[in-house]
Amino acid sequence: MAPRPTPPAELVVTQVRSAIGTKPKHRATLRALGLRGIGQSNVLADRPEIRGMLARVSHLVSVSEHAPAQPARAAKSAPDKAEGL
C-alpha cells in the first residue's frame, strides 16, 4: 500500500497595519490574500506564490504556521444486529 501524501502546510496571515497610504499594488496584494482590514485573518496554503505576496506586504501582516487538520479515519463498526432479522 502506497503512503498517503501529506497535506500541504498552511499559513495563518493576519493584517496588523492599515493599508491607508500604501502603494496601490500593496493594497491589491492584501485583497488578493483575502484581507480587508486590521485584525482580519485568513488561512492560506504554503506555496511559493503566496510566499511572494507575503514578501511584498510583510510590513503590513503577521504570519504564523498552522497545522492542517488530519482527516478522521472511519472506524470499522460492527454489523448491526437488527440486519439479521
Q: How far is the C-alpha of 62 from the C-alpha of 39, rounded, in Å?
A: 10
CATH H superfamily, domain 18-68: Ribosomal protein L30/L7 (3.30.1390.20)
Give the pLDDT of residue 68: 61
Give the pLDDT score at 26: 98
Q: What is the pLDDT of residue 76?
A: 61
Render the burial of 48-81: b for 16+ CB within 10 Å, e for the rest: eebeebbebbeebbeeeeeeeeeeeeeeeeeeee
Q: Is the pLDDT of residue 75 over 90?
A: no
pTM (2 decimals)? 0.72
Q: What is the pLDDT of residues 10-69, one digit of tens each?
A: 999 999 999 999 999 999 999 999 999 999 999 999 999 999 999 999 999 999 998 766
Q: What residue spans define the domains of the chain?
A: 18-68
Band the pLDDT of 3: cuts 50, 70, 90: confident
CA–CA separation, 45 vs 34, rounded Å? 12
Query: Over 90: is that where the pLDDT of 79 sits?
Result: no
